[in-house]
Amino acid sequence: MVFLEPARSTLEETKDIFKGITPEWAWGGSTGKDVKVGIVDSGIDYTHPELTGCVKNGVEVTTSSSGEIDYKMGLHQDAFGHGTACAGIIRSIAPEVEIYSIKVLGGALTGTGNVMMAGIKWAVDNGMDLANLSLGTTKDVYYGNLHKIADDAYFKKCHLIVALSNTSPVSFPGVFASITGVKAITESNPFIFYRNPNPPVEIFAKGIMVRLPWLKHGYFTTSGNSFATSVITGIASLIKAKHPHLNPLELKYVLYSLSHNWADYGKIPSPLYTQSELSRITRIPEENLKIYLKKGLITPVQNDEGGNPLFDQKTIVRTNRVHILFSQEFTVEEILQKIA
């Protein structure tokens, strides 16, 4: 029997890396620079102001009339808005990440299993460090091939971060052990996320009532596991940029180490945010926030020593709702009634 000794560089790089893991160690000072993220989705509007310069290339995966898989290289547009939203979240957390759009979904946010598998495989075979997957299938016929692709991703150090289905308890590849499965919770701080003691959902993260970049350079506020997944992909990008030697198992361990216990959900004190931070988190201009404050539509929970307003997590959700209603030209009285 022959025993293979791991390469010395791998041993040196990973020795004791799990001792004393802190946010500062994991992502302090990181911007996601040089990390390649493949977003397997509906395409990306690379011209959106939130994404300027970060979408490096793309591929549109389709099937020919004979049923063969076709790959059309190059930047393209978003067929739905969903891929742009996911890219915006990732970029907001990791501003120097390199995004690659892998378009496999159409205008109804649907596609075929073969095209989906080809898109994921493209990410694995083309050097993506991370692949953000807001899709899956419940059809057993794809189980075997998807499992092989997920295993290949693991061995090629491409970490698949997958949104669990919003409707089905079992979907592939979301239930595979080699990926990281994510679902959404109400949380304003993307860096506060929770580990689940009962997989296949492994991590719960911010994904409820999130204001997102959308089609036509616009924005849209909605909820979904997809957006929680993009939050974790963004954080994983920061970690990977600072510790490029981490393989998917090690990266998952770091995420677990920095997650909160699910039993503590709702017990962690909400941080307070300044007006500029509230603007950055909600992507609402400060000029608008000043109007909402003046009209009494949002109120600070307290002021800092300099008399500047401070806002909590609940205010973030309220502010998003106020902004939508105000843009629809509801009166102040009507808005107050609707958000009461």
Lowest-pLDDT range of 17-31, 44-58, 250-264:
17-31
Cβ neighbours of residue 66 closer than 8 Å, sequence gap 6 or more: none
Over residues 90-106, the pLDDT tens digits come to: 999 999 999 999 999 99
State the span(s) of the chain assigned CATH 3.40.50.200.
29-264
Distance CA 124, CA 127 (A): 6
Among the listed residues 316, 313, 312, the one whose alpha carbon sits nearest the alpha carbon of residue 289: 316
One-letter amino acid of 306: G
- Residue 106: both structure tokens together: 């159409």
| pTM for this entry | 0.78
Q: Which CATH architecture has domain 275-339?
A: Orthogonal Bundle (1.10)
Question: What span, in angstroms and rounded, lies between the C-alpha atoms of 151 and 186?
Answer: 32
Instruction: Give the residue from 55, 93, 232 showing the smallest Cα distance to 161.
Output: 232
pLDDT in tens, 161-177: 999 987 766 789 999 99
Neighbours of 141 (CB within 10 A): 9
Its sign, for the CA torsion 93, 88, 194, 266, is: positive
Instruction: Tell how strand 302-303 and strand 309-310 pair up.
Output: antiparallel
Q: What is the rounded distance in angstroms from the CA atom of residue 310 to the CA atom of residue 270?
A: 12
29-264 folds as Rossmann fold (3.40.50)
Please choose, from the candidates 77, 65, 92, 97, the residue with its C-alpha nearest in 3D space to the C-alpha of residue 244. Answer: 97
